Structure 1
Amino acid sequence: MASVSTKGLRYVGETRNQTRHGYGVYKYSNKFFTYEGEWKEGKKHGHGKLLMSDGSFYEGEFINGEIEGHGYRKWATTRNTYSGQFYNGELHGHGVMTYGPGGSYEGEWQHNRRQGHGVLKLSDGTHYEGSFHNNIRHGEGSQTYVNNDRYIGDWIMDRRQGSGELRCHDGTIYDGQWRNDMYNGQGTMIHCSGMVYEGMWINNKPAQEAAEIVILGEQVIELQQGQPFTIEVEIRTAEGEVVDCEQNRRLRISAGFKHYLPNQGMPLFDLIEEMEETPIPTPYGYDIVAYPLTDYENLKEKLSEFVLKPSTAATDALTVVTDAMTADNVSVTLEEDGEGEADLGPEVAPSAEVPPSTAAETTVAPSEMTGEEISESPLPPPVDNRIVEKGKAEFLNLYLPGVSPVYLPYVMAEFDKGRKKSKAVNKMMTSSEHEGETPTGRFRSFKLSSFLQF
């Protein structure tokens, strides 16, 4: 055992032939480094610990004066720690880095950088496993995000680029091309609602992006009450092109009367007030209240099971004759049947005229039913949802049942027994002196409107 001291440095430990050899402690002249461990022929060699004055240190293997082999390194300022292989003082080989703020990396290293295959866990819960190059994600890899979305595919310069599949936590799947971390190129999205889009994508958006649901035909359609009719719709872009890349969007159709508040001084005010439903807002500056709209085939099936009761009493309530209903009174509403709340969309664009379809035969025609029979009959079944195919859908054999006294709250007009119709409200007609007359008539026209959600 020997002690050698020179100006600016100090070594206490074993020596051989006047050189550090064996175990010893060496303090460097800059006072920042201190080495404690094994020596061989004047060089750090074997197991040792290199301490720094800021609290950082390395403990592990040394070969010929260099940090090399397996060791443990801690950085005081960042609180990062590394356990693994070293070469020439650098992180090199397989190792585990635990980051002070949270997260870790386990995998291959080259020259202090992540290189090769590895697993990166971030502090927010994001998990990546795959290829690294020059410290960043590059090559093939999979990443699971904090919301449980999962991407499997290509990475270039730390971004999703190339071919890959994204499976979202809500069930939505995108499989296709990526560029700059976004959908770009040919790809297929299967939305959680069942809607499918297969085609080109540009910066996360379909090249053919749906902008409106267009009802083909005139905006105001003349219809005979009690006669089936058909509505055809197309999903179009803002430029008017049919979105033929889209499949399986579900559409729902409904109808309603324009809602008017009753005047307190009018007859039947109390009855109307009791029966009134909550109005439904529209994007056209007025509210509506629901009116039954049904599929004619479904209605035939329902009516075939219903046994009418003969009407023996005269109609005491006012009979509503809808012969003069106008486009301001009746609305048909289209909306997408998807999850979440529907956004209000643009007004329907007109196209070619839609010819009314031929009325189907039924055991008891709804237009022949009296007010009492209608009021006692079951509600008509709603229209089944339609599925869009290549950007198009068709509602066949729609049917608007006749108005009965039960639907007085939907009419909201000023009626007065023995008086002619009011010029101020709805252009409605009543006939209280014709007792026993059935509440039938026809819709001369109605306005079509659309609610959209994308």
Structure 2
Amino acid sequence: TLYFANGEFEYKGQWRKGVPQGQGMSYFANGKPKYKGQWRKGVRDGQGTFFFNNGQFEYTGQWRKGVPHGEGTSYFANGQLRYKGQWTKGVRNGQGTSFFDNGKVEYTGGFRGQQKYFGAWYLKHGWGALYNQAGQLLYDGQWVQGDRAGLGASFQGTTLQYIGEWKRNKRHGYGESYGADGELLYVGEWKRGREDGDGTSYDQSGQPLYEGQWKQGEYQGV
């Protein structure tokens, strides 16, 4: 057992060769638990739970060399879920779900993260779904380094807005757009968020309106 100068526990548990090894618990100087779980060569390693200094869970799951690594769940200080999924070297990396602090899902899908200087960053990467704080789906599709890229569908409320190809968060490639009532507006090629290339627009009854070449959102026919 190791103590702080004020007499409070600093660490209580198993030791080997003078350092924590096996099961043990570390504490904040105020006596609140800091970490409970497995240790290896003096650092958190294995299965364990890290706490905020108010006693709420901050992270519970797998650790490696002192940082989250593997499957784990992090929390906001109010106890709500923050992220549940895969970690690599302390950052979100792999498949997971992030949450707003009201408990609603923010995003579920792939993450790619790295440790950089004294902070961490992570980006949506792979296939994933993005939501707003009301729980409404905003986008479901592919991501590349945080951008909508590849195949995907965007939504406004519960209505499909666009389905097709994306590049750098813009409609780019082949896709279909829809109006507020779900009516088909345009089918064809897009470039940098605008109708561009071969495409067809439709009127409210679903009949073709303009068919042919488009450039920067404008029909090029006569």
TM-score, scaled to structure 1: 0.39
Alpha-carbon offset, residue 138 of structure 1: 0.9
* Greater strand content: 2
Q: Are 1:206 and 2:161 an aligned pair? A: no
Deviation, structure 1 residue 204: 3.8
Decide which structure has the larger Cα Rg and report it.
1
Larger RCO: 1 or 2 (CA < 8 Å, sep 6+): 1
1:279-298 equivalences in 2 (<5 Å): none
Does the CA contact (< 8 Å) of 1:244 and 1:390 recur in 2?
no
Q: How does 1:297-336 map to 2 (within 5 A)?
A: none
Would you say 1:183 and 2:162 are equivalent positions? no
CA contact (8 A) 1:83 1:96 kept: yes
On the 8 A contact 1:71/1:83 being kept in 2, the answer is: yes
What is the alpha-carbon distance in structure 2 between the residues aligned to residue 89 and residue 244 of structure 1?
55
Number of the residue aligned with 2:209 = 390
Q: Does 1:47 align with 2:23?
A: yes
Check the 8 A contact 2:162/2:177 in 1, yes or no. Answer: yes
Partner of 1:130 in structure 2?
Answer: 109
The letter of the residue matching 1:52 is F
Q: Which runs of 5+ in 2 are unaligned?
A: 114-121, 212-222
Distance (Å, rounded) in 2 between the aligned partners of 1:45 and 1:103: 29
> Cα distance 1:33–1:245, how it changes in 2: closer, same or farther (>3 A)?
farther
The 1:170–1:90 alpha-carbon spacing in structure 2 relative to 1, beyond 3 Å, is closer
| Matched residue type, 1:120 | S
* Distance apart, 1:32 and its partner CA: 10
1:137, CA displacement in angstroms?
1.2
Aligned to 2:148: 160
Aligned length in residues: 198
Amino acid at match of 1:131: G
Aligned to 1:197: 186
Is 1:245 the counterpart of 2:167 in the alignment? no
CA distance in 2, matches of 1:91, 1:36: 21
Please give the residue correspondences for 1:298-377 in structure 2 after superposition, counting only pairs within 5 Å.
none
Structure with bigger helix share is 1
1:95-131, CA deviations, whole angstroms, 9 ceiling, x for partnerless residues? 1111226542111111110111111122353432211
Q: Would you say the 8 A contact 1:177–1:186 is kept in 2?
A: yes
2:160 to 157, 160, 172: 172
Residue type of the alignment partner of 1:41: K
The one-letter code matched in structure 1 to 2:111 is F
Q: Is the 8 A contact 1:154 1:163 kept in 2?
A: yes
Q: Is the 8 A contact 1:147 1:169 kept in 2?
A: no
Instruction: Give the secondary-structure state (helix, strand or coil) at the position aligned to 1:76.
Output: coil
The answer as to 2:46 corresponding to 1:69 is: yes
Q: CA deviation at 1:44?
A: 1.2
1:150–1:387 Cα change, 3 Å = closer
State the AA in 2 paired with 1:246: S
Gaps of 5+ in 1: 1-24, 209-242, 251-385, 393-454
CA 1:244–1:85: 2 relative to 1, 3 Å: closer
> 2:208 is aligned with what amino acid?
E
8 Å CA contact 1:246–1:391 kept in 2: the answer is: yes
CA distance in 2, matches of 1:63, 1:89: 9
Going from structure 1 to structure 2, the CA distance change for 1:105 and 1:193 (only over 3 Å counts) comes to: closer
Instruction: State the alpha-carbon separation in 2 of the partners of residues 147 and 201 from structure 1.
Output: 29
Distance 1:43 1:126, change over 3 A: closer
Shift, 1:61, TM fit:
1.0
- Matching residue of 1:278: none
Report if the CA contact (8 A) 1:141-1:152 is conserved: yes
The answer (yes or no) to whether the contact 1:151–1:167 under 8 Å persists in 2 is yes
Q: Give me the whole-angstrom Cα distance separating, in 2, the residues matched to 1:180 and 1:32.
A: 53
Whole-Å separation in 2 of the counterparts to 1:155 and 1:181: 9
The code of the aligned residue for 1:39 comes to W
Find 2:65's aligned residue among 85, 88, 105.
88
**Alignment of structure 1 residues 251-270 onto 2, 5 Å:** none
Shift in Å, 1:43:
2.4
CA distance, structure 1, for counterparts of residue 16 and residue 206 of structure 2 = 81
Matches of 1:169 and 1:68 in 2, distance apart? Answer: 44
The equivalent residue for 2:91 is: 113
- The share of aligned pairs that are identical, in percent, is 23
Computed over aligned residues only, the root mean square deviation of the Cα atoms, in angstroms, reads 3.2
Q: CA deviation at 1:188?
A: 0.9
